[in-house]
């Protein structure tokens, strides 16, 4: 089994619902280290720490014996972008 956990804090979802810009659009920049072949298997919520655990599978992850604890991937970084840079039009 080649699986790992990507932890997403509850506050990341809150970023999408706080005060919205005038046009109603919200853009999030997301930085992560998931390999290109990563496939999400399931999502679990840990209410004790208010965090979502996304379980991913990838051939690039180390083999984890059945019953062992899955490794935790490096943290995801979310950036809220309220306005996009206008494109240059000649």
pLDDT tens for residues 41-67?
A: 999 999 999 999 999 999 999 999 999
Q: List the chain domain ranges.
A: 3-19+26-81
Whether residue 68 is predicted with pLDDT greater than 80 in this model: the reply is yes
Whether residue 24 is predicted with pLDDT greater than 70 in this model: the reply is no
**Rounded to the nearest 5 degrees, what angle is found at the Cα of 47, between the Cα atoms of 33 and 12?**
40
pTM of the model: 0.72
Q: Name every residue whose Cβ is closer than 8 Å to that of residue 2 and which is 6 or more positions away in sequence.
A: 57, 58, 59, 60, 61, 62, 63, 64
> What pLDDT sits at residue 44?
95
- Across 34-41, average pLDDT: 93
- Across 27-51, average pLDDT: 88
């Amino acid at each position: 089994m080649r699986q790992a956990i990507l932890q997403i804090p509850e506050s990341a979802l809150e970023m999408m619902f706080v005060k919205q810009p005038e046009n109603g659009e919200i853009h999030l920049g997301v930085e992560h280290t998931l390999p290109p072949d990563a496939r999400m298997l399931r999502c679990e919520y840990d209410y004790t720490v208010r965090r979502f655990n996304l379980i991913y599978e990838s051939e690039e992850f180390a083999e984890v014996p059945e019953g062992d604890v899955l490794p935790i991937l490096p943290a995801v970084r979310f950036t809220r972008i309220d306005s996009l840079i206008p494109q240059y039009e000649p």
